[in-house]
Structure formats: structure tokens, C-alpha cells
Structure 1
Amino acid sequence: MTPKKSWRVLALAASLLLALPLSSLAVGSAALVNGSFDQTAGSLPAGWNLDAAVKDKGEARMADVGGQRVLQLAPNSRNGGDKPLGVGQLLDAAAYRGKRIVVQAKLGAEGGATAIVGVHALGKKGDLGFVQLKQGASGGALLPQQQVLAVPDSADNLIVYAIVAGTSGKAWFDGVSMEPEGAAAPAAKGAAVAPTVAPITTAAAMKVDISIDAARTVRTIPATIYGTNVEWIFDGQGLWSASANSLDPEGVRLVKELGPTVLRFPGGVFSDTYHWRDGMGPQDKRPTTEHHPNGPKSRHSFGTEEVAAVAKAAGAELLLTVNAGTGTAAEAADWVRTMNQVQGPKVRLWEVGNELYMKGDLSGAFMKADKYAGIYKSYASAMKAVDPSIRIGAIGGLNQGTYHFIDDDRWTETILKQAAGQIDFLSVHNAYAPVVIGVSDKTDPLTVYRSMLAAPAQVEQNLQSLSALLSKYETPGKPIGIAVTEWGPFFHVQPDSPWVDHVKTMGSALYVASTLNVFLRNPRVEMANFFKLTDHGFMGWLGRRKEGWQATAPYLVFSQYRHNLGRNLVQTDVTSPTFSSKAIGVVSSQERSPFVDAVATVDGGKMQVILVNKSEDKAVEAHIVVKGVRSTGPAKTDILRADSLDANTGTELPLVPGLKWGKQVEVARFSRGAPSEIRRESGTLPGASATAAGVPLTVQLPPLSVTTLSVADLRR
């Protein structure tokens, strides 16, 4: 998913540039009128204009949602095109020229609709820039969002609109406002003022209460939740040594030490131009082909046989993505047949295509949902005719807010309507953050990192919405699982960006920890594959340093989860102080994100707890009460920590002739990168006996840390 063109198309998400024609609007003052929709003119909000050309595309009226009076847009089957159902205002831009304005709104939707609020700066040469707030299914709630628009000096007008995408359902709008950055925006009725970034500094340590019920199992953790991605290009991104004509021994050793349970191959994005036979047979007979149309080339030195050998060394299984862009169902079925004949465990996990729902996908094979549904059904039928026991995933997901990567908001619903009975799991890519493409390079780095650390709550909400949609269409007795086949910290893709190399930091590792917690807690998530294991550029969790391999902070945190947590996840409740964050990149604003997050497993007489402290400078005194046990033996702590959000192990970007990497943003320690910057500390806690509430334990969590607490000899 990393190629430049794809990420630019995804991150900007500007498919609806201008919903309302200027001819339908009269230029007013610089002040937005009736942004709270309190005043009405007939059935519509006063001050907002409804173009006659869209009146037959649905109904616009005022409605009560959660006891609040809001604007409701209900589209019909005629909605769409360049003029969807909506209302707008045209403002004089004079008061905003040369300023940054914060655009805020509360949005909600249901039934396949997407609520959109946008602001465009207009000048004599047309559209000069815009922001859009988007919200899909919201579970009946109106959720706050905000973005910042830099208004050029040449702007004459600002157009503000509330529109609905989709042909069914309803969208709701409240609390639309726009104020210069740094000014207080008016509060929506019944709502708190939109969040700003709260300072994270106090002299005293925070106190956090954690309750663990050792007798209440939430789920059995699927082994496949600890997966990763391996690509075929550039000698398997370094896992193959061309000089030795063999797998790279150091790279394989580090993969084995990490212990991923699933290797997804041959992409991401390269899956839909990949023909698996190119990577089979004698090395000297293998061809050199383009990674994607008109792209760079690699020889197929790292193919099915090589990735299978790496998987065997790591004790992992394979998830193979068949080429649905430029391949055929027969080619996919032959791959299944071949993998059943090779020595070793057969491949049971398969996926049809990568991100074919995305305009600009580098495979050049973007397609509509109806076409993909037909392709998926033909592929699944052909592949299961060879082996009915395999599990096959379709691609999909739900857009949410500015995380709007799928061209068609109804892609997944269309696929499910046509093929739900043949889908074993849905492959989604809903957990990249913060993706600051389009965000000013001068943005405060702490603002960016805090937004990323708040993002797991957005991922969790998206998974809940997706689960509800799957429940609607799945066959009784045959649930459809969720596989997050790509996820991870991601900042930028352009080499000259000052953010491009921040994937490797301690702040990114804390995002990894909290996102893993989300996957663990969601009962429908059966597989997750971080992106990606190795890379010649900046995204590998195994990077290069001084001609060798070096583990990054995300790798080290992932290893804590992989090698410490047991299988039985138990109920864990955390009461923690919180922080607020601004909307950045693809991450919506968050009002109450907990500093501390935790998960726990109990297997037999042993309990494992992983505790995440996201605070930059505050230690945490965590008071843990363990219910359902009488006493414990001694407990051990293993702490991974750093002194700054941008601390890192010093992996190095490659030297490429003609390519200049940008000077990276410095929070405090980025330029000091070295293995010693990410430290491990260990300790021991005495055993404890139960009080009336349960067995009490107290653990000290340093700032910016992930702590594993291993408790032995649980006595019930």
C-alpha cells in the first residue's frame, strides 16, 4: 500500500470537490450562519441553501436525534454524481485570507449513508484548497470531527456545505463552525467544545486503577493475530541474499526470533500484478518483471518456495494473495493445487486481490464493487473446487471520517449482498496512522504524535461498525471473520518529507501496542498482519544499520506481545486519566483518550499483563486488583521504555543515487538514534494475598513505556 501515487489518492480523499453550484448560492457575510441548525425556515435550516437540482435526490429536513435538533439528509436511489443531496452557504473570504481556520462539525450516519461537511476556498482561478469531514455508520451517535484549512491570500469566497453520499439511509449534521486557529469555537448545543491538545505535564505521577477478573475469559486469542507482510520485490526486501544465492541468515534469524504466526505474500500492492509461476523453479531460470505497470523491475529470486522456507523457519503459516487484477481464477486454483503438493503443511489461508477498491492503485486494475464480487465468486469457486477446506478472504472495509480509502462507500455492502455465503473473512486495511500527507510540515510534532496515540479508539469504532455490517449479511452458523491484513504506524511516503522515517520510533511502538490491544479485544478479528517485516526504504520493522539488520521499536513491542501473552484473554478494565488530541491526517479528533491501556491473559496458574503508558513525562502508579484468585506468587516486570516519542534504534535510510531524503522532524532525540535509545529494564514484585476486593498489586510504569507483568502461581 505504500507506493506514492496510491497514498496520495487515498490520503486526500477528495472525490466530491464541490457539491453545490455557485449559481444556487448568494454571497453573504464572512460569518457562517446558523451552524447549529437552531433556526428554521419551513422544513430547512435558515441560512442554508438547497439547490433545486438536487431536490429529487432525497429529503432534507430537521430531525430530533438524541434529544437534539439537527439537520437530516436522507438520500434516494437518484443521489450521486457531482451534485449530491445537500445544503450550503457562500461566504466572503476577506476575513480569512492568509489564515488557518479550524472547521468543526458533529456528524452521524446509518444505512449506507455518509455525512460530509466541506469548506472550499475559491478564487478567480477556481478551487484553491479544501477540507472535508466525513462520517459513515456511527451507531446512532453524532461524532465530533475537525480539520484545519489554510486560506490563500487570493481567496475571494468560501463555500461551506453539508451533503450526503450514498443512495440509502440517513445522515445527520450539527455544530458546524469555522474559526481562525487558536480562537475558541462556539460549542454545539448539548456538546462540549471541540478538543484542543491538552498539555501533558504534571509534577506528580498519575494514579491508575486496573481491575482484572481472572475467572472471566473474554476470548481465546487466535494464533493468527500476530502476522506480518513479506513482499516479493527486491529479493524479498532483503530476505534473499543475491551474492550468496540463498536466504539471508541474519534476516531469517531475526524473523525466527520475532516469531510471526502468518506471513502474507506477495504484496500489498504488488499482488495484483504478480504471477506466481514466475517465482518457482531454478533461480537461473526465473524472469525479471515490473513490480507494477511502468514501474521498477526485480528478478523473481524470492518466490513461493523462498517465502515458504522463511515461514517454516519462523514456525508461521502463509496467507497467499492471489492476483485478481491481472490474473485468472484458473491461475489461482493452480496455485492452491501446487501448494497442496509441495512438502510441508499445505496453505489454508488465501485472499483474493489487494486494494482494487482504490482509484489510483498501482496495479492499474481498479474496479467497481459489482465486478469484484463476480471475480471473487469465480475465484473462490475455482479454488475451493481444488480444496474445500481452505479459507478465502474478500477485500473491503468501511470508510470513516477522513480515513476514506475506498472509492465506493458501499463497496463492502455490495460484496456482501452478492457473495457473503462464499466469504470466510473480510480483509481490511483500517489501522494506518497518522498518515500526515497533506498536513503542513510545520505542524507541531507533539500534536501529530498525540493524534496517532489516540487513533486506536478510531480503529476500534471502525471494527465495531464493520462487525455490525457483517452480522447483517453473514449466513447463520457461518460467521465472517475480520482479517486486518495491513496495519501499522505510517506518516508519509515522499522521500523529502520530514516525517517519512518516523515509523520506527517509540511513539510508533506505543501505537502498535494500543492497536494490538484493540485487535485482541475485538471478538471478530481473527488475523492481523503488520506492514511490513522488511523494506529497502523506511517501513520495515526490521531495518538496516551499518550493513546489518536492526530491530526497530515497533518490532520490539510486537515481540513483547508475541512471546508473553497467553491464549485466554480475560476481562480487564482500566480507569485512567485522559488527554485530548486534534484531527491530523486520517485521524479524527479525540476528546478522552486514556494515557494507560492494558490487556491480560490467564492460562492455568499464570497471568500475563501488558500495560501501556503513553504519557511523555509522567510516570504511572498502577493499582491492580486481581479478582477470582486467593493469592499470587512473585511477579516479574519487563519494561521497554525510551526518553522521547521520537527515540529510535538508529536504522538508516538507503543511499540511492539521485534521491535526497528530507531532514526529519526532531521532537527531542530522533537524530540520536542508536540501539541503546530503546531500553529494557526488569524487576520483581513480591507475592500477595487477597483482600475483600481481590489480590492487590502495585506496578510503577515509566513514561513512554510498555510493561509486561508476569504473575506466577495464581491460587484460586
Structure 2
Amino acid sequence: MKKHFLKTGMATVLALALLQSCKKDGAPKGDGGTGGGTGDGGTTVITPPNNPDLAATQGFFLDGWQAKTFTAPSAATVAKPAAGNISATVDVSQVISKVSKNLYGNNTNPFMSQYVDQPVLMQQITDLAPNILRFPGGSLSDVYFWKGSNKAPDDAPAKLLNSGGVAGDANYWYGNNTANWTFTLDNYYKVLQQTNSTGLITVNYGYARYGTGSKPAETAAHLAADWVRYDNGRTKYWEIGNENYGNWEAGYRIDPAANQDRQPATLTGSLYGAHFKIFADSMRKAATEVGNTGIKIGMVTTEDEEKNNASVIIQNWNANAMKESGSSPDFYVVHNYYTPFQQNSSPEVILATPAKVTANMMAWVKTSIQNAGVPQKPVALDEWNIFATGSKQMVSNIAGVHAVMVLGELLKNQYSMAARWDLANGWDNGDDHGMFNNSMNTSNPEPGAPAWNARPAFYYMYFFQKYFGDRMVNSTVTGSTDIISYGSSYQSGQAGVVLVNKGSTDKVVTVNIKNFAAGSKYYYYELKGGTDNATFSRKVYVNGTGPAGVSGGPSNFKTIAANSAAIAGGIIVNVPAYGSLFLVAEGK
């Protein structure tokens, strides 16, 4: 029997009276959680879960949130290991947040080919269920003309300046280029429909800077508004520009002599903030014209590591852009690649980053908003990955474990939306952010890998989403700093935990679930790397089943039986070195 207590007044008195009555009559046995030995008797009162308010950093991205119903997978009974001194405690009564399906997003891009006709890749994206697919980039968003096929607007110069003022070919991209090596805008819309995904479109802000017409900002905003009209209500989420504070972006530096509205040579946060309002006003007007009144527009902001950047523009970007844009943005956008730039980082360095970096990033954005005196809005991380290079880290099992930790920390810190970078990129000897092998990269193919082969991160993100509940709940670990836990609960009555082992040796963990009416069984999937490529295995094994080839995971990952054991006597599991375990316990 679960007892629900109201907070104040006569309701509290009545609730306490009910509790005393239940105690006299004898409370149900085995209700208090697993505790390492559910079913061994005792009288325990279950504290009901709290229902925290939706965080302002999440906001409308949780509109339409749905509870999850757990369906037990096919399972094979396994023996439990002997208990050790490591415990993970999950408290179902302490809800941190509802789980947003928008945290599992990814980035697609125009250099993946016209992949809508690639059934293997399309099925894998559908299986992954990213829910959000961002397009067209990345930095190429600021040189992307959605209307064109092979010619830019007349006021877009043939050459653009880099950060040092040196001119180079603009290398524009076009939304109507039907060549087989690129990807049309219309095919993007088809991919969204076929994979049941929601769009996130990044419009070309750079054009507002390098355009040579009389009113470049207004012209660029009009082009963005025309895209909204063409979109015709298919897309809710938009953002203006990509990392425009960075000297690597088109439009960061322009030739003032070619500019007709007195813009400075180098972009500032204040100017971007002023331009943001011009874009947003034009785009919202266009959305109203086509009946898409729910459009939401995001603004580029810096993340924590960049506040101490040597660039004065980056140091002051958030303060100046936020003050100038005021309440116009609907959400704020950050990017983060977690590890030191292009260093041959070890697993220990990589796996130490998710908790600290994710928390610091949110704290920095909140502080920036407070200092600017503007309202808190949702915070979206729509590009993330690792920058570690030299040992095939990006395509490794370690990248998958890192992805699990990022998802857990995003939930813990109440981010609204996230999109990993990216679905497919380029092999570059393993320095490849792509979740899938890009089969169109014929000049530098991944050796031994079939077309669109999924990398380990795919499997880790698939099992996280499938076996994490609809609410994150508090969880803690004692006995080891290598084990990290992320607890969840299902409205259908189950509870679960995702366990990560950052260490180089296996760890036995006892899982205690508090304030939970436990059922009879628990189920889990164990993911770990292989023995190839030292600690950066290109393979992942799911409950002992691995890939047929040199990389990726098992082709039958959707039908592999879960491991299962009785809850009576305790939930005890072995968490593999540099691996993860996804566990759900039945409720009564």
C-alpha cells in the first residue's frame, strides 16, 4: 500500500492518522525497495515520488511529454555474481526531472549524399529514434543558400575573408543541388517524415555580414523568412547562425569597404544581438502568414570554456548579445566537444569530462542570463561530441560510454534538447565524428567496414533511450569512484538504472532501489568493447554478442535476449571495464 501525504493543514493530520492506522493493521511486506534483499520481510512505508516543476531551462521542449510503459524483453536467466562492497542506490521518491525525448537528437548535413534512398542507413536512423535532426550544419550553415542549386545571390561575394583578413573562395552550399554527393533540402524533409523526427533548422546568419547589398541584415533575414514560408509549418525549432562568435565562421570578419551599412570588420555580440531581432521578427511574421504560430527561435551563445578565451569578443559575447536581443530569443544554443582540442586523450581524460563540463556549461549560461537581466529560457546543446584524436577515439567504444554519460548529465542538469554531431562525417583514420560510416567518402573509406556501418555510440544511445524511464530519479554510488549511476522510473511501475564503469577493471555492483514496490525480476543489457585497438576498441558487444566485421556492433541488437535474475536476494550485477549496463527492475 502506497501512502500519499499532503503538505499542510488538516490534510497532514488525516494523512498521519492514516499512517498510524496502517501501522496497526500491518503494512505490506517487501514494499520498501530492493535493499539487496527484497522479499525478506519487514514493515516499510514507501515515500511517494515528488513532482518537481518543469525547469525554465527545459520549457516548451517538454511540451507533449509522454509517460513510458515498460515491456519486458525476451530474457535468459543468468547467475548473479557474489556481492562486493560497491552499491548504487536509486531513490524512486526523489524525481529530478521528466525525461525529454529531445535529448537524443543528432545532426545531419549536406555532405552525406542523397541518403534518403539508402535503406540500411534509414532503418538505423529509425531504430536510433533521434527525435531531433538538425540541418544543414554546422559551420556550413553560414554559407548555405537554401533556395539555390549552383549559384549564390548576386550580393554574396565570390570570396570571403578568414580571421586574418585573407580572402579565399566562398565555397557556398545550396539546398537544391541534386548531385549524388550532397543532400537537398527536400530530401531532408523526407528523412524527417520517414524517421518520425522533428526538424531543427539553422539559417544562414553569415550572409547578414558578408552580403554586399544596401541592407545585408534585412536581406539575409528575408531569405530566412522565405525559408519559413517554404517550410509551411513543418518545422517548429529554428536557430540563427552557428558559433558566430568564432573566427572560424563565415562572416566573422568582413571587408568594411564592401559593406554598405557601416558594420565593423569583426563581428561583436552586440551586433549579432541586434541582427537576431531583425531575423526573428521577419521569421515570426512569415510563420504567422503560413499558420505556424508556434515557431521557436534559438540564439547562439558561448559555453563555459569560452568565457576565458583569449578573444575579447568571445569573453563578452553572451553579455552583449543577450542584452541587445532582450527577450527576443525563445531558447539559447550552446555547443561543446568536451575533451581538449585534438589531443590524444586517454579514456580516463575523456570519461572525466561529462559531469564537470555539462554542469559548468549550464551554470555559465544561467549566469550570463542573470547578468544580462533577461528572462531564463530553455538551453539546448545542439552540437556535442569529443575532440580527442590520434587513437581512433571518436569511433571507439569509449565514445559510446562517453555518450551515455553525456545523456545522463544532460538530464541531471535539466537541458531542454541536445543533438550529437553527427550522423556521418569522414573517416580521417578514425578521427571521425560520424555515428555511421559515410559510404560516400570513397576517397578515404573506413577500412573493412560495410556501407553505413554503425559505430559503438549508436548502440549505447539506442539502449539508453530504450531502457531509461520517463523520469530521472536520484541515484548515488558508494564504494567506487569508477562507477557512475543514472536512475529512472516508469509510470507503468518499474524502476531502473544505467551504470557506467569508467575504470579499467570489471566492478560488481549491488543495486538498491528505495521507495519502490519491487516485483520478481530484473533485466539488463551489458555493453562493452572488444580487445582490438587497445582501450579504444572499434567494436561493441551486447550481452556477449559482437559484430561480424572489424567494427561496430551486432546486427541482431534488437532481438538479443536480456540478462535476467530474481530480485529476491538482491540486484547484483557485473559492470564491465569501460562499459555500461542498462537495467530495469519489475514493480508489483
Q: Quick check: TM above 0.5?
A: yes
Alignment of 1:501-520 (within 5 A): 501-520=392-411
Distance change (3 Å), C-alpha of 1:490 and 1:431 = closer
Distance (whole Å) between structure 1 residues aligned to residue 109 and residue 251 of structure 2: 15
What letter is aligned with 1:624? V
Distance (whole Å) between structure 1 residues aligned to residue 124 and residue 197 of structure 2: 14
What letter is aligned with 1:571? N
Q: CA deviation at 1:403?
A: 7.9
Q: CA deviation at 1:624?
A: 1.6
Q: CA deviation at 1:471?
A: 4.4
The answer to whether the 8 Å contact 2:518/2:585 transfers is no
Match of 1:317 among 198, 205, 208: 198
Match of 2:381 among 481, 484, 492: 484
The residue that corresponds to 1:416 in the other structure is 322
Unaligned 5+ runs, structure 1? 1-203, 279-285, 440-444, 493-497, 579-593, 651-671, 690-695
Distance (whole Å) between structure 1 residues aligned to residue 86 and residue 302 of structure 2: 35
The residue that corresponds to 1:674 in the other structure is 551
Cα deviation code 1:353-393 (max 9, x no counterpart): 00110113256556211110111111111111223421110
Cα deviation code 1:106-129 (max 9, x no counterpart): xxxxxxxxxxxxxxxxxxxxxxxx
The answer to whether the 8 Å contact 2:498/2:581 transfers is yes
SS of the residue corresponding to residue 326 of structure 2 reads helix
User: Would you say 1:463 and 2:362 are equivalent positions?
Assistant: yes
Match of 1:385 among 282, 285, 290: 285
User: Would you say 1:267 and 2:267 are equivalent positions?
Assistant: no
What letter is aligned with 1:219? S
The residue that corresponds to 1:231 in the other structure is 109
The residue that corresponds to 2:150 in the other structure is 287
Distance change (3 Å), C-alpha of 1:221 and 1:675 = closer
SS of the residue corresponding to residue 429 of structure 1 reads strand
The answer to whether the 8 Å contact 1:631/1:688 transfers is no
Distance change (3 Å), C-alpha of 1:217 and 1:426 = same
Distance change (3 Å), C-alpha of 1:521 and 1:676 = closer
User: Would you say 1:686 and 2:566 are equivalent positions?
Assistant: yes
The residue that corresponds to 2:259 in the other structure is none
Cα deviation code 1:437-461 (max 9, x no counterpart): xx5xxxxx6x632111101133122
User: Would you say 1:448 and 2:311 are equivalent positions?
Assistant: no
The residue that corresponds to 1:307 in the other structure is 188
Q: CA deviation at 1:402?
A: 9.7
Distance (whole Å) between structure 2 residues aligned to residue 259 and residue 558 of structure 1: 10
The answer to whether the 8 Å contact 2:529/2:539 transfers is no
Using the size of structure 2 for normalisation, the TM-score is 0.68
Distance change (3 Å), C-alpha of 1:296 and 1:423 = closer
Distance (whole Å) between structure 2 residues aligned to residue 331 and residue 608 of structure 1: 48
Distance (whole Å) between structure 1 residues aligned to residue 117 and residue 310 of structure 2: 35
Distance (whole Å) between structure 2 residues aligned to residue 559 and residue 391 of structure 1: 27
Cα deviation code 1:470-490 (max 9, x no counterpart): 3454655xx311110100122
SS of the residue corresponding to residue 386 of structure 2 reads strand
User: Would you say 1:556 and 2:448 are equivalent positions?
Assistant: no
Q: CA deviation at 1:428?
A: 0.5
Match of 1:220 among 90, 98, 102: 98
The residue that corresponds to 1:130 in the other structure is none
Distance (whole Å) between structure 1 residues aligned to residue 268 and residue 502 of structure 2: 41
Distance (whole Å) between structure 2 residues aligned to residue 706 and residue 226 of structure 1: 17
The answer to whether the 8 Å contact 1:211/1:573 transfers is yes
User: Would you say 1:539 and 2:438 are equivalent positions?
Assistant: no
SS of the residue corresponding to residue 698 of structure 1 reads strand
The answer to whether the 8 Å contact 2:236/2:296 transfers is yes
The residue that corresponds to 1:333 in the other structure is 225
Distance change (3 Å), C-alpha of 1:473 and 1:208 = farther
Q: CA deviation at 1:546?
A: 4.3
SS of the residue corresponding to residue 453 of structure 2 reads strand
Alignment of 1:424-435 (within 5 A): 424-435=330-341
Report percent identity of matched pairs: 22
Distance (whole Å) between structure 2 residues aligned to residue 474 and residue 347 of structure 1: 30
Alignment of 1:336-351 (within 5 A): 336-340=228-232, 346-351=234-239
Greater percentage in helix: 2
User: Would you say 1:626 and 2:513 are equivalent positions?
Assistant: yes
Distance (whole Å) between structure 1 residues aligned to residue 465 and residue 310 of structure 2: 29
What letter is aligned with 2:319? E
SS of the residue corresponding to residue 434 of structure 2 reads coil
Distance change (3 Å), C-alpha of 1:434 and 1:564 = farther
Distance (whole Å) between structure 1 residues aligned to residue 250 and residue 550 of structure 2: 33
Distance (whole Å) between structure 2 residues aligned to residue 258 and residue 535 of structure 1: 17
What letter is aligned with 1:686? A
User: Would you say 1:704 and 2:585 are equivalent positions?
Assistant: no
SS of the residue corresponding to residue 338 of structure 2 reads strand
Distance (whole Å) between structure 1 residues aligned to residue 251 and residue 338 of structure 2: 21
Alignment of 1:139-150 (within 5 A): none
Distance (whole Å) between structure 2 residues aligned to residue 377 and residue 526 of structure 1: 22
Q: CA deviation at 1:208?
A: 2.5
The residue that corresponds to 1:396 in the other structure is 301
Greater mean alpha carbon deviation, residues 525-534 or residues 290-299: 290-299
How many corresponding residue pairs?
432
SS of the residue corresponding to residue 207 of structure 2 reads coil
What letter is aligned with 1:456? P
The answer to whether the 8 Å contact 2:474/2:486 transfers is no
The answer to whether the 8 Å contact 1:396/1:412 transfers is yes
Q: CA deviation at 1:298?
A: 6.5
Alignment of 1:534-613 (within 5 A): 534-537=424-427, 538-543=432-437, 544=439, 545-578=448-481, 594-613=482-501
Distance (whole Å) between structure 1 residues aligned to residue 434 and residue 337 of structure 2: 16
What letter is aligned with 1:414? N
Distance change (3 Å), C-alpha of 1:454 and 1:216 = same
The residue that corresponds to 1:646 in the other structure is 536
Distance (whole Å) between structure 2 residues aligned to residue 373 and residue 363 of structure 1: 15
Distance (whole Å) between structure 1 residues aligned to residue 249 and residue 184 of structure 2: 23
Cα deviation code 1:270-310 (max 9, x no counterpart): 001111112xxxxxxx3277998626677723222111111
Distance change (3 Å), C-alpha of 1:576 and 1:376 = farther
Unaligned 5+ runs, structure 2? 1-81, 153-157, 161-167, 209-219, 254-265, 288-292, 440-447, 541-548
What letter is aligned with 2:169? N
What letter is aligned with 1:449? P
SS of the residue corresponding to residue 147 of structure 2 reads helix
Distance change (3 Å), C-alpha of 1:453 and 1:563 = same
Distance (whole Å) between structure 1 residues aligned to residue 333 and residue 120 of structure 2: 31
What letter is aligned with 1:390? I
The answer to whether the 8 Å contact 2:304/2:365 transfers is no
Distance change (3 Å), C-alpha of 1:347 and 1:405 = farther
Distance change (3 Å), C-alpha of 1:676 and 1:429 = closer
Cα deviation code 1:583-624 (max 9, x no counterpart): xxxxxxxxxxx44333323322122321111111x2212122
Using the size of structure 1 for normalisation, the TM-score is 0.56
Distance (whole Å) between structure 1 residues aligned to residue 336 and residue 563 of structure 2: 37
Q: CA deviation at 1:504?
A: 0.6
Distance change (3 Å), C-alpha of 1:475 and 1:370 = closer
Distance (whole Å) between structure 2 residues aligned to residue 453 and residue 533 of structure 1: 22
The answer to whether the 8 Å contact 1:456/1:515 transfers is yes
Distance change (3 Å), C-alpha of 1:362 and 1:380 = closer
Distance (whole Å) between structure 2 residues aligned to residue 517 and residue 428 of structure 1: 17
What letter is aligned with 1:257? D
Distance change (3 Å), C-alpha of 1:429 and 1:621 = same
Distance change (3 Å), C-alpha of 1:473 and 1:403 = closer
Higher RCO (CA-CA < 8 Å; seq separation 6+): 2
